[in-house]
Amino acid sequence: MISPDNDSMTVDQTAGEQPAKLHSVVRRGRGFNNNSKSTLDGDFDHIEEDTPDSASAPAKSTEGYTIILTNIHEETQTTDLRPVVAQFGQVLNISVPLCFRTGLAKGYAFVQYKDFEAAKTAIAVLNGTSDEPRELVLEVEVTADWAFVRGPARSGRQRK
């Protein structure tokens, strides 16, 4: 109340009322309301895995299994690779990255197979670990490995 005699102001507090908070915090956006449904809850699409569950097992992409061929000749094109890699199974895609400046191959290529066994056989033959003779591409021995592997299993919800 303000008294007419002086310019000072007094605050009347009645019983049961709490004093007003001077610095209230207003939080806006996602994640502040505990009642809201989390975006991590729910049923999401996933890729069916048909490979052993270990850290070095290949990761399946949405279409198949991708291997990387290294030590390829700089003049290699997809037409040179197709007859070599198609003998192991159905090839979905072959990609030979080119140098922007020279237009020559960078020395590696990606081959995507439809099924796991075809990719596994291609790796074994191209690396020379199978009974079949090692394949040459433009008179060069290429090596092969999985392009994408699963990382170590994580428990719970860990973020870095």
CATH number at residue 113: 3.30.70.330
- What is the value of pTM for the model shown? 0.60
Count CB-CB contacts under 10 A for residue 137: 19
How many angstroms separate the Cα of 110 from the Cα of each of 8, 66, 152?
A: 81, 7, 23
Q: Is 81 within the bounds of a domain?
A: yes
Fill in the DSSP letter of residue 31: T
pLDDT score at 104: 92
pLDDT at res. 60: 75
Of the chain, the percentage scoring pLDDT greater than 70 comes to 57
- Count the Cβ atoms, other than its own, within 10 Å of residue 84: 18
Q: Is residue 134 in some structural domain? A: yes
* Per-residue model confidence as pLDDT tens digits over 7-30: 666 666 565 666 666 666 677 766
The count of other CB atoms within 10 Å of the CB of residue 113 is 25
- Residue 4 inside a domain? The answer is no
How much is the pLDDT for 59?
77
What is the residue range of 110's domain?
65-146
Question: What confidence score (pLDDT) does residue 12 get?
Answer: 60
Consecutive H or E run containing 93: strand 91-95
Please report the pLDDT score of residue 19 as a whole number: 60
Is residue 116 domain-resident? yes
Residue 85 within a domain? yes
Identify the segments of the chain with pLDDT beneath 70.
1-25, 29-56, 133-136, 152-160
Number of domains composing the chain: 1
Query: Tokens for 147?
Result: 């392009």
Residue 119 is given by DSSP the state H
Q: Is residue 9 included in any domain, yes or no?
A: no
> Residue 151 domain-assigned?
no
**CA distance linking residue 6 with residue 150, whole number of Å:** 77
